[in-house]
Amino acid sequence: MHASFRPGEAIINQGEEADYLYVLLEGEVHVTSSGAQGGPVKLIRTMTAPAYFGEIGIAHGIPRTANVMTVRGCRCALISGASLLDALSIASASGSLIATTQSRLARTHPSPSSADHRAPSNF
């Protein structure tokens, strides 16, 4: 499945249920977060295609940890959370995917304990 988004449109909102992994095929997005404690919203990163986002909530079974809003119009491929988890039950996640997910989670929800950032069991 594919979806297109206009400039300035929210793709993901922090706190929502994690339903899809988004593969950014065209365009650019800003990723912002208020963190786990609900502080001020901060720009975490700008992502330009090709890229992906939305894996943290699916992999860890938690609500979305960040907001993703288009800077320019975007086109994304959507992979359902169930499909992603099914694929990961057949073939283990790459070290790169695990490291990226852990790094992104640490940026949006820093914790004094590194144990909070371990890879989920299905990775």
Domains of the chain, start order: 2-109 (2.60.120.10)
**How does the average pLDDT of the chain come out, rounded?**
86
Please provide the size of the chain in residues: 123
- pLDDT for the residue numbered 98: 64
First to last CA, the chain: 24
- CA dist 122 and 115 (Å) reads 16
The mean pLDDT value for 88-108 works out to 73
* Chain centroid to CA 72: 18
**11-20, 92-101, 112-121: least confident range:** 112-121
- pLDDT for the residue numbered 49: 98
The mean pLDDT value for 74-91 works out to 91
User: Do the Cβ atoms of 42 and 33 come closer than 8 Å?
Assistant: yes
- pLDDT for the residue numbered 116: 45
- pLDDT for the residue numbered 19: 95
pLDDT higher than 90, residue 2: yes
User: Do the Cβ atoms of 46 and 31 come closer than 8 Å?
Assistant: yes
- pTM > 0.85: yes or no: no
